[in-house]
Amino acid sequence: MADADFFVRRKPYATEQLTVSTAVATPTASKVDNTATPFNFRASAADVEVGSNGIIYTLDGSTPTATNGLTLASAKLTLAGYQKVKALKMIRSGGSDATVNITYYKE
C-alpha cells in the first residue's frame, strides 16, 4: 500500500506546536491517546514538520542524544501507525531551540 493510500482513509483531528530544546520533547499524550468520552480513539498517524532549526529524534523508545537518533532539519516526517507516534522523542540538534508542528490523524 502506498503512503498516499494510507492517508486517504484518515482524518486530521488535532494539531499542536512544540518547542524542542535540550530536554526530551514528546507529543502530548492526550492528543495521541484521545480517551475523552465520546471520542476514545488513538492517533493512527502524524505529520511532524520542523519549522525552525533542527531536531534529533528516535522512534524506538530510546532517548535521543547528539550520538543517538536521526537528524531532521526544516523538513516533514510522516509517521504511519500509533506505535511510532506514541514512541516519538525529540531534542534540538543545534544551539537553538526548534519549532515543531504536529498534525494528528485518526481512522
Grid cell digits, residue 101: 508542528
Q: What angle do CA 99, 83, 24 make, to 5 degrees?
A: 35
* Amino acid identity, position 85: V
Q: How confident is the model at residue 34 (pLDDT cuts 50, 70, 90)?
A: confident
Percent of residues, the chain, with pLDDT higher than 70? 92
SS3 84: helix
Pick from 80, 106, 6, 94: nearest CA to 50: 94
Domain boundaries, the chain: 3-106
Q: How confident is the model at residue 10 (pLDDT cuts 50, 70, 90)?
A: confident
**Averaged over 12-24, what is the pLDDT?**
95
Give the Cβ contact number of residue 26 at 10 Å.
Answer: 14
**Averaged over 1-29, what is the pLDDT?**
84
CATH number, domain 3-106: 2.60.120
pLDDT score of 5: 66
